[in-house]
């Protein structure tokens, strides 16, 4: 079945900015070059005929539209693809059932939101929920910023780190409402302490470059951590998960007054990684005062 994307080799590589030659030939297709400014995620209900229906639909997708298709827990089990469950409930979640789940999740990315909408409308399955997103792509190619004004997506792993042994990957989606007004009302130093990075450079606190190592053990003369105990980058650090990584691809969304935030999309070899990270974040992340998870799903993306 070939329903995951336009190529087998380039898509994961581009998400991590790696040379094409470094990627294996059989991988799940999850990210094409260049960075694409518009996102449309649509979840559908479906049955065992969905893969064949999606194969036929893909022929109608215009050039320049990146397609990733994942299958939810029920349909993945029915098709014999993967055995997994959706993410559990976490403290602080305010999940709207109308924005959760789905047997099939289609992620479309491209330059024209109208083209994405037309492609999604043509999917021959019953829609369950839909979410649009956008990126303000810097002209200089630097890391995009989220609605809090911080760089988002700095430390992504090599593609092979997010693949299952069979060459697929798991895609986790979370719709996260952000209180940008409340966050931006904080002094800049307080905002940087919440995130654990400097706003302007994107460098970890105590460092000078965006891609410098996050020094989790560094302390000030008074014994306090340079990167506070509740800083987002500390609690999400892969060192706390024995080096396991997720490849993150976030888009902002704006669904009207009081409902703006982040469409968090991440790929990983085992969805249990997201559960571990989110449990830490939900219990101690200083960012929780300004965010609320309102929707999401977990699905399996088979190899192309």
Q: Which residues are catalytic?
A: 152
Q: In sequence order, what are the residues at sequence separation of 6 or more whose Cβ sits closer than 8 angstroms to the Cβ of residue 48?
A: 75, 78, 79
Provide the 8-state DSSP code for 293: E
SS3 of 13-57: HHHCCCCHHHCCCCCCCCCCCCCCCEEEEEEEECCCCHHHHHHHH
Q: In sequence order, what are the residues at sequence separation of 6 or more whose Cβ sits closer than 8 angstroms to the Cβ of residue 128?
A: 42, 43, 44, 45, 101, 102
Which of 156, 177, 193 is CA-nearest to residue 256? 177
Residue showing tokens 């694409």: 36
Distance CA 292, CA 175 (A): 8
Which of 49, 95, 124 is CA-nearest to residue 295? 95
Which of 176, 173, 172, 174 is CA-nearest to residue 269? 172
Distance CA 150, CA 131 (A): 22
SS3 of residue 94 by DSSP: coil
Contact 35, 66 (CB under 8 A): no
Contact 278, 51 (CB under 8 A): no
Strand partners, 263: 175, 251
Q: Quick one: CA torsion of 212, 283, 152, 67, rounded to 10 degrees?
A: 120
Count other C-beta atoms under 10 Å from residue 249's C-beta: 25
């Amino acid at each position: 079945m070939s329903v995951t994307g336009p190529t087998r080799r380039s898509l994961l590589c581009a998400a991590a900015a790696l040379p094409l030659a470094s990627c294996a030939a059989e991988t799940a297709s999850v990210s094409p070059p260049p960075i694409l400014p518009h996102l449309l995620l649509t979840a559908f209900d479906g049955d065992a005929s969905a893969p064949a229906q999606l194969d036929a639909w893909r022929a109608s997708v215009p050039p320049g539209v990146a397609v990733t298709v994942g299958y939810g827990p029920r349909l993945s089990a029915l098709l014999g693809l993967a055995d997994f469950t959706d993410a559990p409930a976490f403290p602080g979640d305010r999940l709207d059932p109308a924005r959760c789940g789905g047997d099939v999740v289609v992620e479309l990315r491209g330059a024209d939101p109208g083209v994405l909408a037309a492609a999604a409308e043509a999917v021959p399955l019953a829609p369950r929920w839909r979410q649009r997103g956008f990126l303000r792509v810097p002209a200089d190619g630097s890391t995009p910023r989220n609605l809090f004004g911080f760089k988002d997506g700095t430390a992504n792993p090599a593609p092979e780190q997010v693949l299952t042994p069979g060459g697929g990957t798991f895609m986790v989606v979370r719709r996260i409402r952000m209180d940008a007004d409340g966050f931006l009302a904080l002094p800049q130093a307080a905002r940087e302490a919440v995130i654990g990075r400097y706003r302007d450079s994107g460098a970890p606190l105590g460092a000078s470059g965006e891609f410098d190592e996050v020094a989790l053990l560094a302390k000030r003369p008074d014994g306090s951590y340079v990167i506070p105990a509740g800083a987002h980058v500390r609690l999400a650090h892969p060192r706390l998960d024995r080096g396991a990584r997720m490849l993150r691809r976030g888009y902002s969304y704006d669904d009207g007054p009081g409902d703006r935030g982040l469409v968090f999309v991440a790929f990983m070899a085992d969805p249990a990684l997201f559960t571990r990270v989110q449990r830490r974040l939900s219990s101690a992340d200083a960012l929780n005062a300004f965010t609320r998870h309102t929707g999401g799903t977990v699905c399996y993306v088979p190899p192309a």
